[in-house]
Amino acid sequence: MSSFTSKEEIARLTARMLLEIEAVNFRPEDPYILTSGKPSPSYIDCRKPISSPRIRSAMMDFMVTTVMRDAGFEAFDNIAGGETAGMPYAALVAERMGLPMTYVRKKPKGHGRGARIEGDMSEGQRVLLVEDLTTDGGSKLSFVDAIRETGASCAHTAVIFYYDIFPETKNVLGDHGVTLHYLCTWWDVLAEAREQKAFTNETLEEVEKFLHAPAEWQAARM
């Protein structure tokens, strides 16, 4: 980590890597149905990089660069992954930063200690929550609260991908005292897809309409 890649280059290269491993899917003519039940012309699978060693390594280098530059070089004592997608990335970040790694369950396990935190996390530790992506930020709050219940603090979360199409996201996290760090957004992916001609112009234009007004786009197709 002797040199720091610019945020713009990190965003461009991360988008390029996601496109290269076909983690990005655009299908406006037959929209994906999200867990919310709403349609979307775009879908991203940020678990795919774990199976691509060179891309996985580059992205984790970028994540460490991002959090050290934006939060500080000695800002954390523990790296926590959110169950389950955040766990492999938390392990890779912890290894690079020479820090303990823990993970946070979505809900307490139904036996034993009934714990949500696995691994050693102690009062006063400054914890970085690592996840694969964030949409509206809401799912992060439960993980953050579980971390704080141990007496540790959690003021930062880092992800590979941030949707950046829901204006409330940063406010949701900010009101909870959490700063979001990310490598790239849908806008970066759209720009790189255009540069590479990875999809037809018609597909990219329809995706852009969705990104500018997701609620309206979804309402017209429900």
pTM for the complete prediction?
0.93
Q: What angle do CA 106, 60, 183 make, to 5 degrees?
A: 80
The tens digit of pLDDT for each residue in 116-149 reads: 999 999 999 999 999 999 988 888 999 999 999 9
The tens digit of pLDDT for each residue in 68-84 reads: 999 999 999 999 999 99
Read off φ and ψ for residue 181, nearest 5 degrees.
-120, 140
Per-residue pLDDT of the chain (222 residues; tens, 9 = 90+): 447 899 999 999 999 999 999 999 999 999 999 877 889 999 999 999 999 999 999 999 999 999 999 999 999 999 999 999 999 999 999 999 999 999 999 988 766 566 899 999 999 999 999 999 998 888 899 999 999 999 999 999 999 999 999 888 888 999 999 999 999 999 999 999 999 999 999 999 999 999 999 999 999 988
DSSP of 130-142: EEEEESSSHHHHH
DSSP of 58-107: HHHHHHHHHHHHHH-TT--SEEEEETTTHHHHHHHHHHHHT--EEEE-SS
CATH of domain 14-219: 3.40.50.2020
Report the 10 Å Cβ neighbour count for 195: 12
What whole-number distance in Å separates Cα of residue 199 and Cα of residue 202?
Answer: 8
Q: Looking at the DSSP assignment, which residues form a beta bridge with residue 40? A: 32
